[in-house]
């Protein structure tokens, strides 16, 4: 299986915040992905541009295609 990396169009980062991802049942690969920047998420400066949403759609397509391979 191909690993998702920066060359796949994805940057990765480790951050300290809560998510339900570890509680998902199963032994499948789990991805936490969304539009915008995690560095601004849940802050006074949180916002999305239309281009962020368009980029996210392309990213979701890549993740789905990757998962189906």
Comparing C-alpha atoms, which of 69, 60, 1 is closest to residue 31? 60
Q: How far is CA 35 from the centre of its chain?
A: 8
Question: pLDDT at residue 4 above 70?
Answer: no
Domain residue ranges in the chain: 31-69
Comparing C-alpha atoms, which of 27, 31, 22 is closest to residue 64? 31
Predicted local confidence at residue 16, as pLDDT: 78
Report the distance separating Cα 5 and Cα 7, nearest Å.
Answer: 5
In 3-state terms, what secondary structure has residue 68?
Answer: helix
Q: What is the pTM of this model?
A: 0.72
Predicted local confidence at residue 12, as pLDDT: 80
- Residue 1: pLDDT band with limits 50, 70, 90: very low
- Residue 47: pLDDT band with limits 50, 70, 90: very high
């Amino acid at each position: 299986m191909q690993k998702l990396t920066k060359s796949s169009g994805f940057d990765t980062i480790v951050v300290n915040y809560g998510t339900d991802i570890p509680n998902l049942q199963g032994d499948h690969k789990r991805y936490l992905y969304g539009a915008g920047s995690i560095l601004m998420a849940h802050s006074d400066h949180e916002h999305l541009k239309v281009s962020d949403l368009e980029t996210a759609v392309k990213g979701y397509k890549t993740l789905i295609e990757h998962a189906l391979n």
